[in-house]
Amino acid sequence: MVEQESKGGLFLVATPIGNLEDITYRAVKTLEEADLIACEDTRVALKLLNHLGLKKKLVSYEKFSEEEKKSYLLDLVATGKKIALISDAGMPGISDPGEILVKEAWARGIVPVVIPGPSAFVSALVSSGLSAERFFFQGFLPKGKTKERLDILKELEEIRATLIFYISPHALVKDLEVIQEVLGNRNGVLARELTKYYEEIIRGSLKDLLQVAEARNLKGEMVLLVEGFSVKKEELPIEDQYQLYLDLLENRGYKAKEAIKEAAVRSGGRRNKLYEYILRKKEEENGK
C-alpha cells in the first residue's frame, strides 16, 4: 500500500464532517502530496486547506459536472498524477458524485486508494442506541417525487435492520411525515450537526421527532435512523389485529387476503382466528 501511494493514482480522502480536528494524519499527507484536489465546493475545500496550512490546486467536481470532469481527472491519473477526491464532508462516494468517478476508474483499470476517516451515518449509528448489528443505508429520498419516494419506503418497510436516511433541513418535516406514514410510528433517532458545537441527538418515536421538527427550526445536515421491522413475539389482542388489518387494507393498498396474512404475521396472531373475527365484525355491521 505504501508503495502504491508513492505513485500517481486516485485517492478517496475522507474529510471532517464538522470538527476540523477529526482529519487523519494520513489524509493530511495525501492532500499535501496531491497534484490536484477534486472537491464538491471549492469554498468548503479552501476552509479545510487553510486550516491545514496547505495551498493546493483545486477543481470543482460536483453533481451535473461529473460526466464532464471524470475523463479529465482520470486522464491525469493515467499520466502519473496524484488526484485526491474529497467531498464537502465525510467519505467521498457516499451520496455524492464521487461514485461515478470511482466506477469510471475501475472501468479504466485504475484501482482507487481509500484514505478512511469520518462518516456521518456511521457516527450517528453507533451513538443512536439502535441496533448496529444490521443496518440499511438509504441516504436521501428523491426530492418531490411522491410515487418514487413511496415505492422506496414500501421496499424498506419489512427490512429487519436499522434504516438510515440523510435529510436536508428544508425537507425534514415532509420526510418525517411520509416515513411515518409508510413505516408506522417506530422508534427513531435524529442526529444533527455531528461533531460541531451544536451537535444534537434526539431520540423518540417518529411522531415525537415530527413534533420536534414542526416546533423548531432545525438546521444543518441530518441523519435519521429508524428502527427496523420486527415481528412481535407476543400475540396482540384480536381487536388490535383487526385494526392492523384495516390499516393495511385501507391505507397501504393490500387486498383483503393479503391484509389478513400480513396482519397476522405482524401481530404474532393466527390467520384463522383473525379471519373469524373479521367475519363476525362484518355480520355485526350488516345487522345480522
* Domain 2-118: homologous superfamily in CATH: Tetrapyrrole methylase, N-terminal domain (3.40.1010.10)
- Residues 52-69: pLDDT tens digits? 999 999 999 987 677 778
Rounded to two decimals, what is the model's pTM?
0.76
| 90 in Cβ contact with 14 (< 8 Å) | yes
3-state helix, strand, coil in the chain (%, to 5): 45, 15, 35
pLDDT digits (tens, 9 = 90+) for 84-99: 999 999 999 998 889 9
- Answer yes or no: are the C-beta atoms of 59 and 36 closer than 8 Å: yes
Residue 268 pLDDT > 80, yes or no?
no
By CB atoms closer than 10 A (0-12, 13-18, 19+), residue 275 is: middle
Helix orientation angle between 256-267 and 238-251, rounded to the nearest 10 degrees:
140
Edge-to-edge, what's the strand order for the sheet holding 187-192?
135-139, 162-167, 222-226, 187-192, 200-205
Say if strands 135-139 and 113-115 run parallel, antiparallel, or are unpaired: unpaired
With 60 as the cut, is the pLDDT of residue 4 above it? no
CATH architecture of residue range(s) 121-226: 2-Layer Sandwich (3.30)
Annotate 259-274 with three-state secondary structure. Answer: HHHHHHHHHCCCHHHH
Sequence ranges of the domains in the chain = 2-118, 121-226, 238-285
The mean per-residue pLDDT over the stretch 220-249 comes to 82
Residue 96 has a pLDDT of 86
| Encoded amino acid at 123, one letter | S
- Flag the least confident range among 175-179, 185-189, 191-195, 243-247: 243-247
Give the bridge partners for 191, in sequence order: 201, 223
In angstroms, the Cα distances linking 157 to 180, 240, 251 are 11, 19, 14
Judge whether 282 and 260 are in contact, CB under 8 Å: no
